[in-house]
Chains A and B, each alone.
Chain A
Amino acid sequence: MNEQGRPTAPVTAVTEDAANTFTGNRALQMEEPLIFETGRYDVTGVDLPQEAGRAERATGSKKEAASAEGATGKKTRLGKHARTAPIDLPGLTEPEAMRHYVRLSQKNYAIDSGLYPLGSCTMKHNPRLNEKMARLPGFADIHPLQPVATVTGATELITELGRWLLEMTGMRSVAMSPKAGAHGELCGMMAIKAALTARGDKRSTVLVPESAHGTNPATAALLGYSVVDVPAREDGTVDPAAVRERLSPDVAAIMLTNPNTCGLFERDVVAIADAVHEAGALFYADGANFNAIVGKVKPGDLGVDAMHINLHKTFSTPHGGGGPGAGPVVFSDMLAPYAPVPFVRIAGEGAEFVGTRAEAGEGAAPFGRMTAFHGQMGMFVRAMAYMFSHGADGMRQASDDAVLNANYVRAGLRDLMSQPFGDRVCMHEVLFDDHFLDDTGVTTLDFAKAMIDEGYHPMTMYFPLVVHGAMLIEPTESESKASLDLFIATLRDLVMRAKKGEAERFRQAPQLAPRRRLDETRAARQPKLKWEKPAPWSEAAE
């Protein structure tokens, strides 16, 4: 007790139903209703200056919106198109909105809160300098169609970013506009199709290893290709012999991820590329895992013809809860002429920005356009800031550390968890299967959910599909040794608990997160995809 009689030491006994609160809140974990349940239709958190807002006096309210009288006292020019019925959009004032979204944010795991070992997703630190740079008015407040003379700094940045990407990959040109990795894949495969069409070569199949991301076969199918699977050999990599067996004059391309989704470098990549090229086909590389090899090897030297680069993985632009990404695509000499506008290409000692088909000049045949405007400029600025910060030496060190960290995790767990392809060196991510959980009654899903209660985001689970109960761990270079030591110790403890027969604890997990396991079957069987107004009580009573 202090002098005011205030207790200064906690009572140790805890009441049994502490979690059973009146509000449903659990201290810092707040329950938060939907805006449609708390917002009001006559409330707004945005105001306008008197000058701009004057029209509201004439047409602001629902009734008056239908009025034909406009701001200046003249007729509006909406004709018969004016919206009269309610839109049903509730509003919140600023303090209410701040609280709503801050409370929502507190239900999310994030890189900034802890280790986020999602294999293949590359959850590395997102530097805040990048955010600051992207918000400079000279980048954030410029329009894609304002006169080109007023945006020379923007094209300079795109050109510089393109030049860095081309130097890192050893390629000839880079299409800048694809909006995400899958969009980049589509762009790369379109260039391949355009090049084959240009030489009058109609081919109908694409080879895709079984371990590939699902986007690869989906992309090939979108372009009308049928997909032929290539199985992995015993060691988790692609066998050039298996590729050769499937090659024919009908094969347009192979789509190969390297390092692959098992976390292994395709050591026979050059032989595979040679075989593909001999058959008149092209080599698309999925660059999702480029972060392992930046500054270590250039994909162009391995025979790659096209490769997308996820700026949101390798170059640290934030994942933002599922986007926006950015997926520029680099092209070899063979495919460079087909790059869609806008693109950057090697010119003399440097690089040049090509914004239109006319600027591309003779000898170039851009296959079209992937998107309106120039691509993800905001992501370009962030990636450029990352590259400038790291430099050639820092990027190489980042690759080294990413691979070092994954192998350190492997070394810390190899005696307790099972590796599908034996105990061998991995790249930036380490893959385990669920063999080590045999007879424990614990599944990969249970194991992953138990990690949540320990304060970790689960690793990628059940992917790649070629491994049973896969657990793919990518720590990234952002984790310190101390952080990895605790992570390893935690997983070791979980494995021991599973082996000791604590299956029920795993099946119940997570117990401490904002939500327990969710009923996904119900969500899919009775889809409820938006908020509906509750029925009036008279109808509900029936």
Chain B
Amino acid sequence: MRYLPHTEADREAMLARIGVPAIDALFADIPADKRLDGLLDLPATRSEMEVEAALGRMAGKNTPAGSVPFFVGAGAYRHHVPASVDHLIQRSEFLTSYTPYQPEVSQGTLQYLFEFQTQVANLTGMEVANASMYDGSTGTAEAVLMAHRVTKRRKAVLSGGLHPQYRAVVETVSEMAEDAVVALPPDPTGTEAILDAIDDETSCVVVQSPSFYGELIDLAPIAEKAHAVGALLVAVFTEVVSLGAIEPPGAQGADIVVGEGQSIGNPLTFGGPYVGLFATRQKFLRQMPGRLCGETVDAEGRRGFVLTLSTREQHIRRDKATSNICTNSGLCCLAFTIHMTLLGETGLRRLAASNHASAVALADSLSEVPGVSVLNDSFFNEFTIRVPGDAAEVIDALAQNGILGGVPVSRLEHDRPDLADLIVVATTETNTDADRAAFVAGLKEVLS
């Protein structure tokens, strides 16, 4: 076995040094009648070449996004990631290190976390950001729990523009924690009467912008109403590139901003691992979940970084902790921060403008397809179209023609026949004029 250094002679010598006759003696505490005598009913060890062949065969059955005109978004987006990002995150010192519990030999990880926290705070327009969450959806559930701690109330109001699976994650956690959730019905156009749903029992109102359907939402009036009744505004995004073009939630009165950072630095990878971004106001810092990296000095007075405010965390506080989380999204967070550093403000704005331009061009073209209408007034790089007939069938027919044309809303909203003709369409800088033309032509053909 190529990963195990011992020879049989080594093992014999080591057992002798330990003073036991055979390896089984080291497992004597396992009840004898439960111990496995033989091997598990699984295949035997395989060479590197054989493993590559077996996994390559599975990978070969899938259709990579890069091989077709591709317009699937709805919470995960295909962007171009510079080659240097993937090279750097595979540096041994980043890839094979642990959580930076020993700061003297972890300054590399700690410094990029500090830089990451600053980037996220600036992007979202907030005062403090943590060192990342698992992903946007779990981060949203943590934001709701945090709002409950801050307000000492236990009812969350969810906008109908929130990603349906984010909603499901919040509902699951809330049901289990016996907290209340009021989820407004799906709202493709951003016209729901959310202000009416906020009352003096509301802990927080959770609003996604751009919404799941792509609509840009004016958060300021919602923040105003929430604050008037002592509730918090939790602003959610699934497409972080949008922050290069649209007003940040922090400037619109959000109290907690949480979102998915996958778009920057991280590949699609079928849904994970991703990186949750989480930021808030300074005054709520001590109720914030997750890891925090802070600046300090060492014994010689040199600047250095450490994990800090760990009195919030489970390994110190146990059942009194703000969250049970004990990791962040390390390497995905590193990929994000490297890519963001390469972009800088200039590159991010350029990238966002390019995404938006592609979406405007695509929306204009699609709206000219007979029977198709674009539902959104304002959007970033994603919008919702209505098609005549069943959207899922349209998407499947497009797929058979080699075009991955978006997500039928029915894929995530199972019991809503009124939404069965909607498709959420996303486009990024990776789409060419030819891709967009192929999509438009394909849709015309499928609908004719």
Contacts and interface: CB of A to CB of B under 8 A. Distances in A.
- Are A and B subunits of one complex? yes
Contact of A146 (B42, B63, B247): B63
Contacts of B320: 221
Interface string A399-414: 0110111011011100
Given A141-B65, A528-B294, A87 B92 contact: no
A467 interface: no
B: interface residue count bin: 35 or more
A139 B66 CA distance: 12
A397 B332 CA distance: 32
Given A522-B297, A523-B308, A43 B346 contact: yes
A403 B25 CA distance: 11
Interface stretch (B110-118, B198-206, B438-446): B110-118
A490 to B, nearest CB: 16
A363 interface: no
B152 interface: no
B271 A518 contact: no
B63 A45 contact: no
Interface string B190-230: 00000000000000000000000000101000000000000
A147 B395 contact: yes
A131 B94 CA distance: 14
A152 B177 CA distance: 36
A195 to B, nearest CB: 12
A515 B103 contact: yes
A322 B76 contact: no
Nearest to A89: B345
Contacts, number: 744
Contact of A221 (B25, B168, B319, B347): B319
A296 B36 contact: yes
Contact-residue bracket for chain A: 35 or more
B147 interface: no
A26 B9 CA distance: 43
A301 B30 CA distance: 11
Contacts of A215: 314-315, 324, 326
A233 interface: no
B390 to A, nearest CB: 14
A140 interface: yes
A513 B108 CA distance: 12
A370 B169 contact: yes
A514 B104 contact: yes
Contacts of B407: 145
A58 B353 contact: yes
Nearest to B11: A404
Contacts of A227: 318-319
A106 B314 CA distance: 30
A520 B396 CA distance: 56
A122 to B, nearest CB: 10
Residue among B48, B106, B108 with most chain A CB within 10 A:
B108
A92 B344 contact: yes
Interface in A363-395: 367-379, 381, 384-385, 387-395
Contact of B168 (A53, A61, A369, A463): A369
Given A90-B344, A404-B26, A179 B273 contact: yes
A470 B4 CA distance: 29
A162 interface: no
Interface in B251-303: 251, 267-273, 275, 285, 291-300, 302
Contact of A79 (B132, B175, B306, B378): B378
Contacts of A36: 115, 118
B267 A408 contact: no
Contacts of A100: 341
A-B complex: 8 closest residue pairs judged by Cβ atoms = A91-B344, A373-B271, A138-B59, A71-B357, A368-B172, A153-B61, A144-B271, A44-B347
